[in-house]
Amino acid sequence: MITLFVAFFVSLMVALVLTRFVRDQAQAWGWLDQANSSRKVHVRPIPRLGGVGIVGGFFAPLCALFLVDSGVGHHFRSHTDLVAGLFLGGAVIVALGLYDDLRGAGARLKFTVQFAVAFGLYAMGFRIDVIANPFGPELVLGALSLPFTVLWVVGVINALNLIDGLDGLAGGVAFFGVSTNFLLALARGDVLLALLMAALAGAILGFLVFNFNPASIFMGDTGSMFLGFVLAAVSIKTSTKSGTAVAMLVPVMALGLPIMDTLLAMVRRSLMGRPMFSADREHIHHRLMSRMVLSHRSTVLVLYAVCGLFGLVALALNYANSAESAMLLCCVGALIVLLMRRLGYLDLHRAKNMHQMRQRNLWLRTMVKDVTRAVRASGSLEAVWNGVRPLADALGLSRQELRFQRVLETGLSDGIVFEAQRPSGPGVPFEVSIAIKDGGEVLGAMLLVWRDGRSSINRDEELALEQVADAVAESAARLRPRVSVEPGRLVALRK
């Protein structure tokens, strides 16, 4: 127990110092997460890369074991597959997260790296061979062990990434999962897994000091993907030491909230015709804030309580027989259904309009592909304007404007403005301004005006406009126009 406490304390101190250092440096270097989208909850720029503190805090006591001649250190070094999997796989995931936080990584790159890491873990012995079935005999996966293991690792990595939407939420959710695995490891006498979880718990708490609402730093994808990776890998090792009645059920329940939120997002986006990897404000934490009128901090505390409940059920499953496990799962299922109804996920009235929304979203995605393709193929600013003009008919605009400013050979600036108007409707004008940006440089702005009585745009329209703006920014950067405007991203100006 002394070794576990030392590991926890060392990781806590390293995470505290490293997170504060990264926060200060990120502010000095301008590595900030801008509040430039309607799905953002924060209202001011916040430093990113807080995950560096979590990573450093987790690995600090583990690296010390290579230098200390002790029984625990020898036991740790003897498990070469576990050590190699955590260090090598963790390093790759951290590199991917850093690249995404600093430069931005597309879904294809993320999944390529994540699947490669998952296959590597499987080759090192991280395998799920049995799925529990409390209602009957366990299911031996056999040849399906590889795809199931890979999907588990990739799924948990992205589940922690998706739920990272409020101050302290992803870190707190991960802490409850870590605590559950720690208690299970202690109950089974698995000192090595308990050591890993103690180190990770200390790193998370050290980071949460700066991340709990109001946060002064975010973990970014570096932290969320790393937490998901470690929890996925350790959960596999934990499940292999479980009784066959609960194999894999315990880690699934311990990570119940992020897994449930991810599954809901996949089903929701599929049914509504949205891109699978698009962002929205329909996650569980968003619904709690809007439908139950909870504050930012209250929402996080409620979800902490939900995670605590899932953790208690996971611990109970570890000691339950098949019949008791089945009863527990039925009770949890009933509670989940009640929660889904309370949050509006099972709203039958909304389901009636879902087909119509799906058809519109699919059409909108097709239109955006055509527009962005034309914009990226443009050889002049006028061609860029001609590429975006179909937005007027598609979105029912009464006025559309695209403005650039380029630097002339004389050193003076020359403003370029393209504008089109249609017959105005009877409604009060509602304007939306979208910045055209290349990295941190603002190259232009696109103005759209409606007169159909609206006071906002929905997330699907916003997503479409952001994709068009990104395509315009690529062409604008290639054609070298420059502009100086206020650095918003998508801001409603007035109604």
Binding-site annotation, residues for Mg(2+): 161, 221
Distance from the Cα of residue 460 to its chain's centroid: 18
SS3 state of residue 297:
helix
Cα–Cα dist 220/314, whole Å: 28
Tokens 């006025």 belong to residue = 399
How far apart, in Å, do the first and last CA atoms of the chain sit?
63
State the amino acid at position 395 in one-letter form.
Answer: L
Binding residues: 161, 221
Cα–Cα dist 286/297, whole Å: 12
Cα–Cα dist 239/217, whole Å: 34
The answer to whether 33 and 101 are in contact (CB under 8 A) is no
Which residues make Cβ contacts (< 8 Å) with residue 415, sequence separation at least 6? Answer: 403, 404, 405
Which residues make Cβ contacts (< 8 Å) with residue 265, sequence separation at least 6? Answer: 162, 280, 282, 283
Strands 130-131 and 46-47, by their bridges, are: unpaired
Q: How many CB atoms lie within 10 A of CB 475?
A: 23
Pick the closest to residue 115 from 162, 85, 151 (CA basis). 151
